[in-house]
Structure 1
């Protein structure tokens, strides 16, 4: 016991020494920063004030103390009302600045932030503020509200393949890091395929690896991927999250809706490479374009994907207002990347958006003939007013991209505009309540972002023109950041839906600006943007992690290596179906209902309507891409939710990436995965002559590479164990293989197929299988 106590004391002593050393090291770095660097309001000071001061001294007039705003220079420089002759900030003089005295004070009656706020400033934060004041206390407009500039660092680089790499290399040098070597050809080919089409490369493509060793071959491969129909399906998953697409209306009855032609349009628009400015304009105001056609009107379904109630007894105006609020919030978050919804009930506490500006933006969406309540579930239509009707002539001509197999008309909820004689008056709603109108407002946009030009009409088309105007500082930045997030797992701005004061600062601000301007200068071309990123040396690095990476940049913020990212829920399904040969490549059409545990829908249903009971689809519909899985808002697909899919009840720009035991249970027991494994096992034995060849082929189809000698020995040993098991217990063969609806052939009921199926299930459960490396 004494020895154990003595050992514990030694361990504790060592831990304290290490901790103290780390603290000393951590504190030394900021001292160097303070001694050497010009302090920036945007990147050093504003985040401190925003976290610790703006709640009481920020934009929200209702919460402001002492009539002092620290978010505006003119207010911060003024004499204090409660202390005549004193100033919160005196430029160049921290010792005469009341702000500095308050943050270093130990007197509880003077100390800021006040002790009861449970907020404190670190020594580093205090020193930063002191030096900033000493340097002149220069305020800057919020970085995201300043028009981006296209400047490339003037450095020479042997590593860089395009301007992206110049920015990345400069930041790496500042962090004392160097880029990784280039990824191996098979890694790069798999990575690009997963990023651009969401599917693994076929064995035929892998067999031509040598052709892609040169830059020309790789560029050609990217062009090939960008021309596949699967490209539009891959990118559509992101936009379905943003547009909150679902196949039901939500709320209690949660009946079926028919918005899927809008999803078909999104896939088509991406495949046709519709410029992003047009892509947005059609969705915001396609119905207001001169001589608008049905495709442009269909695009406005973007605004109508929110939840609807079908319950009797609700107040029509209450829900109509709720729908307009949703449109406003989706636009501001999904397109502008700002948390405008925070200003619905009061002035924004952190960003320069007033409640008045919120309802001025709301006014653009407030003139639709949409209703709050349109009848109960028993008499409801698949679409709500206003409705676009699509007939067979439309799908034969203009709307050929809509996958509609019969001659019945389709109905889609879209936007419409009231005549001027019927137009609604918009009011600020007190506390955001539908029945508390206050001051009257007209359509407009937040002045802090970009003044609404007088020549633009004050309707949704004018809003679309404002949104895509070259002087708008947000739209292009937000979208290129989303694409960066799609590729690298995290945007240059981590908080993809919040470019405001409380959002994350960009890790590479100059790169973000360069990408945004370049994107606009080149016609808002999405395919070109993706190819630019995938052609960079940054993208083509190996994902190998070193000790130095973990010490200096554990989160890979500066991209000294390619990221290792688990695939999204939809693309895990896609990879398994594609590699097994089960994937049905049909594009578009109504959503499908794959395998799902029994009773889930029924336990969360009102018992009324078409979706009261889950009726599983059959045949080829079981093997569609994850994009087409039916989404019921009150009960989203359980497997997808386990893998962090959006539940689609609101606009989402980013998904989490958790790692839970439930995910492992899905990968080991899901009927689709087991079925795919036994189908692949049978297919491989049909083609290959020997067990060794069969194992090699299965491994290559799933992992997209050849086995190492160690892996081959391990997998062969496992196969032999399973073969012995089924040979000794033939009664287990049928129950093992009898999974899923794909026909089970009599000739496959043998130990070899069952054993190989178990090997394939294990391969699907490898981290490498469902991770983009």
Structure 2
């Protein structure tokens, strides 16, 4: 009995000690590791935003006790319920009523209240106390402050940096006692940069040339070669298709076909010709409003018509028209400004300084489009696009729209933007966001907290585009640069790439982000230049090997003392498989294609456009169309491509600036059983069997084409043993069954057992984690 009591007491002591230690470190560290100077932006605002702003923040409707803690003047003034007291008294925490309520032991007075399930940790309380003692100085939210270029920081290791990026990264590493990794070996580095710039693995010739080039500029030459490859535009476009919620169907229950793919061709073209980012988004927001607008500029506005559109009979026209305008407003906020404007659709934003009125002022820029909530689906190809729309003729494709891959002479119609010219539709605040509950009428405007709208700008979408691309706008460049960084490092400098507001993550390297943004704008918003800076940095070129010590200090690789390691996107997995096998059809642009897909998926959908719908039955493509890049796979929103969804591709329902990343057994099963993978393995095996080389050489060559490096001796031996075992166990019947996959023809007079054995070895290569991982 005494032993049991002793164990219980000991356990309680251990738990108490653990809680005391962890509770003081969860918010950033032990009490002794507190910064010398407390920053409101980086130390205090995140605490207030999480624990206080829901009741004492920007949303007036939810504000309690008349107290607002997100604005200095309100926090300093006398309390409504107790005029003799002040929430915060700069320099005097003992007189600050808010601090007293945070530290009281009286549960009826404690803030946050116990029933909120929120609690301030000891470290957070200590930070707030020190901040008040230092004067309780408020700062404008970091992302709402105009970009200014900081100086290049000093570092101890002056030999490592290759360009300015590296100084900012190394400074942080040195502060944390970290050292950067050595440069990755040439094979892994080439695979990395090739996947990042083109979405394709390097060719055998490129691998040979790069390994043989020992000049100091060998890597720079490869980077330039890849940046000039037309596949660069396709790679860069995939992210923007997520942002723009591009799809090949309308998306509601009666999910019929739409012919919006010429806009996708334009996006690829824009990236390849390196259209400056300010023009890239101006054309998409307001290309139709530019003086003497060209058909290319009008086509670019398809960005704002990619939203879901209903074709269901019986819907209320105005309800869905309002839904479309809201979608464009929300997309503008998330894609270009990186803020959660949609939270102000029904009420003032609870955390960010955006009122519901400001939401509808911004909404009004998109509210004059000459469109309908519902259009009839009766008719031919002209119904595949919704008004306003433009026609692309054969003559257009020969002249102003040469980049559009129009495969035939039929009518080609695309949804674009176009405002009412005879009148201006009135805009009202919608009470609780209800489409027909009109409140106060509003005029075009923007959230003032970001940047006021100049009276010199036209109050239309062109003026909005000019406001967004003004170099004084604090968000536009930051958001895009962060998204580009995310494409190369797996996560942005701001991890929450769709939320730069109060609830978003703080930047890991704020000075670097601002330097990149200032440099980007001062060099004409040059996207290729920005990309080249990133991929030629020493930071990018590091090895991905991680030591135990680095894992302990920086498990999430926030400070980039190693190269990140993560799975490539769904589209590029397919591209890698097709490219390495020699099957890839490199045609750029054109209509989306329907590759292999399990039978019955579309047919089992709840509705497919009724008797008039084109998408009721999945009609698979054949021939070269089967081997198009993954980005051209047909996306039916209600039944997205399963092979892509398994690898976390977007179904394009709404704007998505960052994909989730999962790791499930289904992904391994897909790599072992997907018809495209099996066919690619068969085709590559067939090509290798026709070569006059030893079996081991064939295996080694396949490994190099797929994994993008030479196999080690142990790897070669294991693969050779697998091949030998398959030769011994396969029969003609089993081999024939394995080879009966895909439409690509079998080599004539092939030894089926040898072919199937090598095919099985190659399937295992495709299923290696390293194959579909960027490291």
TM-score normalised according to structure 1 size: 0.96
**Aligned partner of residue 385 in structure 1, secondary structure:** coil
**Contact 1:283 1:303 (C-alpha < 8 Å) held by counterparts:** yes
Residue 685 of structure 1: CA displacement? 1.6
1:766 counterpart residue number? 768
**Contact 2:566 2:773 (C-alpha < 8 Å) held by counterparts:** yes
Residues of 2 paired with 1:409 and 1:11: CA distance?
80
**Aligned partner of residue 439 in structure 1, secondary structure:** strand
1:456 counterpart residue number? 457
Q: Could you say if the C-alpha distance between residues 9 and 224 of structure 1 is closer, same or farther in structure 2, counting changes exceeding 3 Å? A: farther
Residue 202 of structure 1: CA displacement? 0.4
2:399 counterpart residue number? 397
**Contact 2:24 2:121 (C-alpha < 8 Å) held by counterparts:** no
Residue 24 of structure 1: CA displacement? 9.0
Residues of 2 paired with 1:509 and 1:198: CA distance?
29
RMSD (Å), alpha carbons: 2.0
Residue 153 of structure 1: CA displacement? 3.8
**Contact 1:183 1:543 (C-alpha < 8 Å) held by counterparts:** yes
Once the two structures are superposed, the pairs formed by residues 357-756 of structure 1 within 5 Å of their partners are 357-376=358-377, 381-419=383-421, 421-607=422-608, 608=610, 609-726=613-730, 729-756=731-758
**Aligned partner of residue 668 in structure 1, secondary structure:** helix
Residues of 2 paired with 1:88 and 1:9: CA distance?
44
**Aligned partner of residue 427 in structure 1, secondary structure:** strand
Residues of 2 paired with 1:669 and 1:377: CA distance?
41
Residue 213 of structure 1: CA displacement? 4.3
Residues of 2 paired with 1:213 and 1:276: CA distance?
35
1:64 counterpart residue number? 63
**Aligned partner of residue 139 in structure 1, secondary structure:** coil
1:295 counterpart residue number? 296
The worse-fitting range, judged by mean Cα deviation, of 136-145 and 404-413 is 404-413
The worse-fitting range, judged by mean Cα deviation, of 20-29 and 185-194 is 20-29
**Contact 1:39 1:128 (C-alpha < 8 Å) held by counterparts:** yes
Residues of 1 paired with 2:454 and 2:266: CA distance?
31
Residue 17 of structure 1: CA displacement? 11
Once the two structures are superposed, the pairs formed by residues 88-99 of structure 1 within 5 Å of their partners are 88-99=87-98
1:79 counterpart residue number? 78
Q: 1:717-758 CA distances to partner (integer Å, 9 max, x unpaired)?
A: 1111011112xx221111011110111234224221111101
Residues of 2 paired with 1:702 and 1:595: CA distance?
21
Residue 25 of structure 1: CA displacement? 9.2
2:208 counterpart residue number? 207
Q: How many residues align?
A: 765
**Contact 2:153 2:171 (C-alpha < 8 Å) held by counterparts:** no
**Aligned partner of residue 439 in structure 2, secondary structure:** strand
1:32 counterpart residue number? 32
Q: Could you say if the C-alpha distance between residues 553 and 688 of structure 1 is closer, same or farther in structure 2, counting changes exceeding 3 Å? A: farther
**Contact 1:185 1:213 (C-alpha < 8 Å) held by counterparts:** no
Residue 660 of structure 1: CA displacement? 0.5
Residue 45 of structure 1: CA displacement? 0.3
**Contact 2:24 2:31 (C-alpha < 8 Å) held by counterparts:** no
Residue 415 of structure 1: CA displacement? 0.2
**Aligned partner of residue 339 in structure 2, secondary structure:** coil
The worse-fitting range, judged by mean Cα deviation, of 470-479 and 174-183 is 174-183
Residues of 2 paired with 1:282 and 1:758: CA distance?
49
Unaligned regions of 5+ residues in structure 2, if any? none
**Contact 2:305 2:416 (C-alpha < 8 Å) held by counterparts:** yes
The worse-fitting range, judged by mean Cα deviation, of 36-45 and 492-501 is 36-45
Residue 152 of structure 1: CA displacement? 2.7
Residue 252 of structure 1: CA displacement? 1.2
**Aligned partner of residue 438 in structure 1, secondary structure:** strand
**Contact 1:311 1:376 (C-alpha < 8 Å) held by counterparts:** no
Once the two structures are superposed, the pairs formed by residues 117-516 of structure 1 within 5 Å of their partners are 117-156=116-155, 157-376=158-377, 381-419=383-421, 421-516=422-517
**Aligned partner of residue 287 in structure 1, secondary structure:** helix
Residues of 2 paired with 1:46 and 1:575: CA distance?
45
**Aligned partner of residue 440 in structure 1, secondary structure:** strand
Residues of 2 paired with 1:228 and 1:497: CA distance?
30
Residues of 2 paired with 1:24 and 1:91: CA distance?
27
Residues of 2 paired with 1:399 and 1:287: CA distance?
16
Unaligned regions of 5+ residues in structure 1, if any? none
Residue 84 of structure 1: CA displacement? 2.1
Residue 30 of structure 1: CA displacement? 2.9
The worse-fitting range, judged by mean Cα deviation, of 532-541 and 605-614 is 605-614
Residue 618 of structure 1: CA displacement? 0.3
Residues of 1 paired with 2:21 and 2:67: CA distance?
38
Residues of 1 paired with 2:237 and 2:279: CA distance?
16
1:109 counterpart residue number? 108
**Aligned partner of residue 624 in structure 2, secondary structure:** helix
**Contact 1:212 1:221 (C-alpha < 8 Å) held by counterparts:** no
The worse-fitting range, judged by mean Cα deviation, of 152-161 and 532-541 is 152-161
TM-score normalised according to structure 2 size: 0.96
Residue 33 of structure 1: CA displacement? 2.8
**Contact 2:427 2:442 (C-alpha < 8 Å) held by counterparts:** yes
Q: Could you say if the C-alpha distance between residues 26 and 329 of structure 1 is closer, same or farther in structure 2, counting changes exceeding 3 Å? A: closer
**Contact 1:497 1:653 (C-alpha < 8 Å) held by counterparts:** yes
Q: Could you say if the C-alpha distance between residues 22 and 182 of structure 1 is closer, same or farther in structure 2, counting changes exceeding 3 Å? A: farther
Q: 1:49-86 CA distances to partner (integer Å, 9 max, x unpaired)?
A: 00000000000000000111000000000011111211
Residue 20 of structure 1: CA displacement? 7.3
Residue 666 of structure 1: CA displacement? 0.6
**Contact 1:605 1:612 (C-alpha < 8 Å) held by counterparts:** no
